[in-house]
Structure 1
């Protein structure tokens, strides 16, 4: 009965919303969860019940209604925070130290209810200033509870086993970014900030925290759970006053649901120790609502939606292009051709922002390979911008350094795995280029969200092989993606062309000098689950062609028997490691091995290759389908 009643209410409200004009803002009160627990129908609701129950996702935002509280407490300038009771030192740090003046929508709409002590669930896109939106009320809450923290001379009062506020973030990079912002904001106070993320030396972090203490801890869920569950760490929060869940949907996407729920067991019960919880999320799917029910006080919270009903989402506003490439070996030269073309455009037009691109690749090893190629290209190409990379094999210090350097650069290229696809704030990114098909539609959208931010210029390109096009059509429905056909390298038959463009020669000359282990790891990683929804035999043929025609290997890298058996023993073209195998050296021009392990190319293999080429109508080991239209 309760479910039926609520569904009827939601349907009735949607009808009412269809004829109600959209207004400036939408903030829902704490009646949401109370309503969800009641089976008694309500005769008339002052706000849309369906949006309160579902919180609406970013792609189906409800028309926005005015706040119950009016706009009397709504501030739009950081200078005006004084009248809401924010301490003078904190306001000065914002306005004079950091130079902030006007608030973004998410800051203006969430800081006031948070300062009033309410829990907040806020739907806001990345790059809208969420970090300050939750740091200001959290730090003010700490100062209000301990007034001596307003002075920087309050040192020595912090303890590692009495942390008062925690900010949870889905990635190491975003957590580090939040920690840096928090320290800048607290320079004129005695609030001590510590950061705890995976991929760093845990013992060093613990020593630092035990010595300096901690009032506000910024952490990733995995590392926080590790610290709280191990009593020997000395990390505890028995008097926790504030908890922030940033990018909640992303935390759930990357598998932190169990850690989030378990963390609650190590925190004091809010009935015994009242705390404020602020939850921010770009989208509000069902799993985020379920987490909100566990963390948010249902009797004292507000839902703030900063995505306007008539606002065009980034993934619809940013021009998007797909570049179908003949094969995997066409991808590196096509990327270089695209980079050079777009770079020239920005150099020739002073009205355009300097070329600044993020190139997303599916695996860590492929990031290493492409970044190494482009660094070598830069030796001979004076126009090529600086090259950075971020991936899981780098230390946290190296990843932070790359992120900071790319953030500060006017023109640069960042090669990255998905560690920077969400939440990281890189200003003035003009291009997002994805090589190979992303795992799903949401990831594609999150990636292109790195460009076109704050109303600035931005373009997105997706480089895929022809064999990936059917999966692209299935995986990316309803997106305004246009086909790009004016890049010469995309359709070039690299294997058979007598006279290839200079771009391809440049790529080959750089690629053949890459360490063999990097090539081998790239080959193996792409054979894994990186290239989904494509016939495995086609993937093997494509990768074998790539390592031959781009990286200069006569034979594909050898794989373990276990890997080959798991991948599929019936798949042709895979090479297994045996005790007699001698892997090729890294010297230029001697990159190949042989199936027999004697270091010379087998005549039988050449014959098989010729037979396959004749049988399938080309030298590539399989028939080419007609070029598809996306």
Structure 2
């Protein structure tokens, strides 16, 4: 089935990339996932199954028809054979302590160093960052040999030779950190431009230090390039890197990308190398490749094999059905304590370092606040961090860095960290409530079990979410787990003395939270955070949680505007009367379509038919309408 999918995708890519007049046509071999344009092109298939296709210039018939494929370099110390500067090699092998290349690094660095455009399909967590940074920085040094060594000579803000575009602030900051490590012993200046930070501070820093390599998010980069007063310009731009191209299109950056390219020098006037990296190759990514890539001089590298076992199939996965919403935080605390104890008793286990994903920004703030209060009393709990859209970029970067460095810690997060972020040694990914879709569930799991390390994935859901979970997650190796006592306690009937300790700790912490945090958390679940779960059931659950977890006699009130966006007939909500400033019970007879997720950083769900999903490259299987429901 996987091989058929890859062959179908080859046909789609061939048609897409040959639709432009005057461009070379594609030829797909049975093993190829994506064929590249060629007229007199040749191709070879390395023994590693990583398929490479070469495109030659249309007007070069004298070139050898069967060139020998270059020898693959698999160790960073051997990069000198490709002409890479020794200072860069020392930064990698001595400073960053990397020895062996990943497949995407081995397969893309050489063609990129030779000036070819590259389209690379590789799963997240496979070392794509170094794969494009090494050739980009090396070519900057080749163009300006004086940058081989650190210099007091000032660069300027309009001396940008390469731009890396990344979809999220966290990824851009992560790439910037890696680039600075790599360029540490050279004169190459690296700057980062992301949203959520002060634009003027970034401009002052760039004007003072100069910039050769700029890493940016699409929105901030478009703002800088389109602002004539910014001083940021790239009249001699030699390289453009699009990282996580599929993710950028998922979160709606197509217009910004088009605007950015229109503000860059014309490729016909100022030749430019383009490197495009993506985990999947849907049609819109292929269209970007067709627009930005030179069809006469590019190479496609695919490190996703039909017989690969995806990360999410190697990581043990468990689902814990909980009686109600009020059971979830206590069950999470019980699970954390259980796994902490296991790591203490068995020194062969990794220390507990977990990311807890929640469906809304407000719920991230709420859970992190509760656990911090508990940690004041329970010194066995590791440090607590959170990342979400309400934090400033400085706070997000600080928390991210602290979590990376921690041996044991808990990070509460929205989906801003679900894809691409490289947190070392994450032992557990715990998802509380259902994610927005199947792909998001899989991407979240990808934060653990990385680089050959062990990992576990847990999904904590209320009973009302089980039907939607079965529809969303069939075919995955998820096992039902029933050994957590907090999941099955009926809080409504149990006496306080009968409750597990975790319930007492949670309620004590929750009832000390500011009312604003409680009310925002309550309202956030009235958005689309829980997907297809019945809305009346959701209201019943959050009302019960308001009473039994937060200790409220009546649930927080909602605005008439929010009520108007809920389905007709919802019972049990309290309406805030804006004119009288008082609350009254809602009879729930307002109409309107159900609103979207209350989470700015979450990837919006876009429709995709089954045929298009089958045509996407990659070993990960996409959602299939005909697949049976999960049976956990």
Match of 1:544?
A: 543
Match of 1:609?
A: none
Q: Does 2:391 correspond to 1:394?
A: yes
Instruction: Give CA deviations for 1:407-434 in whole Å, capped at 9, x if unaligned.
Output: 0111110000011111111011010000
Q: Distance in 2 between matches of 1:41 and 1:186?
A: 37
Match of 1:52?
A: 35
**Which of these residues, 87, 90, 98, is aligned with residue 89 of structure 1?**
87
Q: Does 2:97 correspond to 1:114?
A: no
Cα distance, 1:32 vs. partner? 9.4
Match of 1:296?
A: 293
Question: Which secondary structure does the structure 2 equivalent of 1:493 belong to?
Answer: coil
Q: Distance in 2 between matches of 1:341 and 1:434?
A: 16
Question: Which secondary structure does the structure 2 equivalent of 1:432 belong to?
Answer: strand
Match of 2:303?
A: 306
Match of 2:136?
A: 138
Cα distance, 1:70 vs. partner? 5.5
Q: Distance in 2 between matches of 1:319 and 1:309?
A: 22
Across the two proteins, how many residue pairs are aligned to each other?
A: 561
Question: Which secondary structure does the structure 2 equivalent of 1:232 belong to?
Answer: coil
Instruction: Give CA deviations for 1:45-83 in whole Å, capped at 9, x if unaligned.
Output: 6664553279xxxxxxx9655777656431111121112
Cα distance, 1:309 vs. partner? 3.0
On the 8 A contact 1:318/1:459 being kept in 2, the answer is yes
**Which of these residues, 367, 370, 373, is aligned with residue 373 of structure 1?**
370
Q: Distance in 2 between matches of 1:34 and 1:207?
A: 42
**Which shifted more, 392-401 or 73-82?**
73-82
Question: Which secondary structure does the structure 1 equivalent of 2:163 belong to?
Answer: strand
Match of 1:591?
A: none
On the 8 A contact 1:225/1:259 being kept in 2, the answer is yes
Match of 1:357?
A: 354
Q: Distance in 1 between matches of 2:277 and 2:78?
A: 23
Cα distance, 1:505 vs. partner? 1.1
Match of 1:565?
A: 564
What are the within-5 Å matches in structure 2 for residues 187-206 of structure 1?
187-206=184-203
Q: Distance in 1 between matches of 2:27 and 2:227?
A: 51
Runs of 5+ unmatched residues, structure 2? 38-47, 55-66, 586-629
User: Structure 1 residues 299 and 534, CA, compared in 2 at 3 Å: closer, same or farther?
Assistant: same
Q: Distance in 1 between matches of 2:580 and 2:542?
A: 21
Instruction: Give CA deviations for 1:507-530 in whole Å, capped at 9, x if unaligned.
Output: 111111111100111111111121
**Which of these residues, 234, 238, 257, is aligned with residue 237 of structure 1?**
234
The root-mean-square deviation of aligned C-alpha atoms, in Å, is 2.9
What are the within-5 Å matches in structure 2 for residues 405-420 of structure 1?
405-420=402-417
**Which of these residues, 152, 162, 182, is aligned with residue 150 of structure 2?**
152
* TM-score, normalising length: structure 1: 0.84
Larger relative contact order (CA 8 Å, sep ≥ 6): 2
Q: Distance in 2 between matches of 1:354 and 1:537?
A: 41
Q: Distance in 2 between matches of 1:42 and 1:424?
A: 37
- Name the structure with the higher helix share: 1
Q: Distance in 2 between matches of 1:112 and 1:188?
A: 22
Q: Distance in 2 between matches of 1:576 and 1:425?
A: 43
Q: Does 2:474 correspond to 1:491?
A: no
Runs of 5+ unmatched residues, structure 1? 1-9, 16-26, 55-61, 584-593, 597-627
On the 8 A contact 1:431/1:460 being kept in 2, the answer is yes
Question: Which secondary structure does the structure 1 equivalent of 2:574 belong to?
Answer: coil
Question: Which secondary structure does the structure 2 equivalent of 1:567 belong to?
Answer: coil
On the 8 A contact 2:27/2:35 being kept in 1, the answer is no
Cα distance, 1:98 vs. partner? 2.5
